[in-house]
């Protein structure tokens, strides 16, 4: 089904802002649901219509007027915090938005999920059928509940669920690449267990292209798609970032047992005292190196015709270009 007008939640986020850019480039009118007080200048400069509101509160009555597709990306995406917030936004907020969209007669709903729904016990070639069994933190559990809500609503609205690669990156990334570049520049970046574990990446332009294809697909409601492009080791990824930013490659390595043990100690301290903020290291972050995290996007390539065009080197070049 062709996208005639899109509603995007989480439009101010890294992936959401890039999705808006792709929709506008495809000449699709875009409406964004934005939290009151957020900076919307960049979205308005793209031509995005702004509607103020919150998925956890009462939604504006005109929110879904003329909307053919809802792209739901708004979420609390941290690995630490109070359960009440994750439950309210990620689980209940998603359920409420689904119900409101269905009641308004919106035909299509695209839900941005996460590979964090899977326990990171090692994945060599996992796919959409792999059990969603993670209980490592509130984020993972709340995203599992959000997926369940989307599946339950699949009889009343056509739902598509997207699980992006383990490491989304690209222009506008405020976390992954900037953090790696800063650590490499300061000479404090260290591989975990030599950086030998492999991980599935996804460049944000490739991800946005896949989301547009998924949004317009025919077929059953409730389908899930993994959108991951390249598979590299953590060392290869860090080396590619270093090369792209003309920085020395990291040579140091720390053992996984030390990282995992420190994460347990820090989490215990933060819960027992309790301390404000978040630990510098969590069990979730340590689990990223427990084993390979390779997820197949064969289903998306076969059913959607998704062909990721941006390579890792080109993707990092685009990141550097937008940060200079």
CB 50 within 8 A of CB 34: yes
Q: What is the pLDDT of residue 323?
A: 77
How confident is the model over 145-149, as a mean pLDDT? Answer: 98
Please say if the pLDDT value at position 44 is more than 70.
yes
State the Cα–Cα distance between residues 55 and 302, nearest whole angstrom. 34
Tokens 């609503």 belong to 153
Ordered structural domains, the chain, with CATH:
6-170+202-228+296-310 (3.40.50.720)
> Could you report the per-residue pLDDT of 248-300, keeping only the tens digit for each?
999 999 999 999 999 999 999 999 998 999 999 999 999 999 999 999 999 99
Q: Which residues contact 25 (CB under 8 A, 6 or more apart)?
A: none
Assigned token pair, 320:
């550097």
Mean of the per-residue pLDDT values of the chain = 97
Instruction: Give the strand order in the sheet containing 158-164.
Output: 49-52, 30-34, 6-9, 69-72, 108-112, 158-164, 223-227
User: Residue 149 CB: number of other CB atoms within 10 A?
Assistant: 22
Task: Please name the helix (run of DSSP H) or strand (run of DSSP E) that holds residue 244, with its range, or none.
Answer: helix 234-244
DSSP 197: S
State the Cα–Cα distance between residues 296 and 299, nearest whole angstrom. 8
The percent of residues in the chain predicted with pLDDT above 70, rounded, is 100
Q: Which residue has the higher pLDDT, 323 or 237?
A: 237
Please say if the pLDDT value at position 163 is more than 90.
yes
200 Cα distance to chain centroid = 13
What's the predicted TM-score (pTM) here? 0.96
CB 34 within 8 A of CB 10: no
Task: Characterize 8-22 residue by residue with b for buried, 16 or more Cβ atoms within 10 angstroms of its Cβ, and e for exposed.
Answer: bbbbbbbbbbbbbbb
Is the Cα dihedral 52, 178, 45, 100 positive or negative? negative
């Amino acid at each position: 089904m062709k996208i005639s007008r899109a509603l995007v939640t989480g439009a101010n986020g890294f992936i959401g802002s890039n999705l808006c850019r792709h929709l506008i480039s495809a000449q699709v009118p875009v409406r964004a649901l934005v939290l009151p007080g957020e900076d919307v200048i960049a979205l308005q400069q793209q031509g995005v219509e702004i509607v103020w509101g919150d998925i956890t509160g009462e939604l504006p009555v005109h929110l879904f007027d003329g909307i053919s597709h809802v792209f739901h990306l708004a979420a609390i995406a941290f690995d630490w915090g109070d359960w009440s917030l994750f439950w309210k936004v990620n689980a209940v907020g998603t359920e409420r938005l689904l119900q409101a969209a269905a009641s308004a007669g919106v035909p299509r709903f695209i839900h941005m999920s996460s590979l964090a729904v899977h326990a990171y016990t090692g994945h060599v070639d996992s796919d959409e059928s792999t059990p969603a069994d993670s209980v490592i933190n509130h984020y993972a559990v709340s995203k599992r509940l959000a997926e369940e809500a989307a599946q339950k609503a699949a009889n009343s609205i056509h739902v598509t669920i997207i699980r992006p690669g383990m490491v989304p990156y690209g222009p506008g990334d405020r976390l992954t690449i900037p953090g790696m570049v800063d650590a490499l520049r300061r000479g404090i970046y260290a591989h975990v267990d030599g950086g030998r574990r492999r991980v599935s990446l996804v460049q944000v332009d490739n991800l946005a292209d896949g989301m547009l294809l998924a949004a317009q697909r025919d077929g059953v409601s409730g389908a899930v798609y993994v959108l991951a492009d390249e598979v590299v080791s953590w060392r290869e990824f860090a080396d590619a970032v270093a090369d792209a930013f003309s920085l020395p490659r990291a040579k140091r390595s720390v053992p996984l047992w030390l990282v995992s043990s420190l994460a347990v100690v820090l989490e215990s301290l933060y819960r027992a005292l309790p301390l404000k903020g978040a630990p510098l290291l969590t069990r979730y972050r340590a689990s990223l190196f427990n084993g390979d995290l390779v997820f197949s996007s064969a289903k998306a390539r076969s059913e959607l015709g998704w062909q990721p065009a941006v390579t890792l080197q080109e993707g990092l070049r685009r990141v550097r270009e937008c940060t200079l």
